[in-house]
Amino acid sequence: MGASTPNAFCPVDTIEYHRNALLAQGDDPLPVEQLVALIQAAPDEVTLKGLLAELEVEANKLGWPRDKDYAALLLQHAVLQVENRPARAAMLDFALAQATWCASCATAGGEGLARSVHVRELEAMRRVALQGC
């Protein structure tokens, strides 16, 4: 995804760690990365909704090698660079939906707990990001 500004909710090294894990299992994260960059710069709500629909298709092609949805992770990082509140809300709602789906697909207790941590992180982030803090 290129150079990014780190934030407390999603350090850049976490993204790189997940990216490398996806590559190691044979998944191509580039389409998701490109769509998140476009979403971050979406000029209007119609474009944003269309891009999020495309992102869902691409995100669902990737595995969860580190118990996190990669698209949700990227949106979690990108959202703090977006000033438009409705766009932030849409991005975080999408990220939450993806992370919740990931968590619901867990096949073991520990796996479910690990995946639910990301859901809780995104819920907290949504509260903070939409307050403008």
pLDDT per residue as tens digits for the range 89-106:
999 999 898 888 766 666
Question: End-to-end distance of the chain based on CA atoms, in angstroms?
Answer: 25
Per-residue confidence (pLDDT) for residue 128, from 0 to 100: 81
The residues that bridge with 7 in the sheet, in sequence order, are: 10
pLDDT in tens, 26-71: 999 999 999 999 999 999 999 999 999 999 999 999 987 777 889 9
Alpha-carbon separation of residue 59 from 6, 55, 85, 100, 108 (angstroms): 22, 6, 23, 13, 22
The pTM for the full model equals 0.79
CA–CA distance from 130 to each of 93, 96, 108, 125 (Å)? Answer: 11, 14, 33, 8
Q: Are 81 and 22 in contact (CB under 8 A)?
A: no
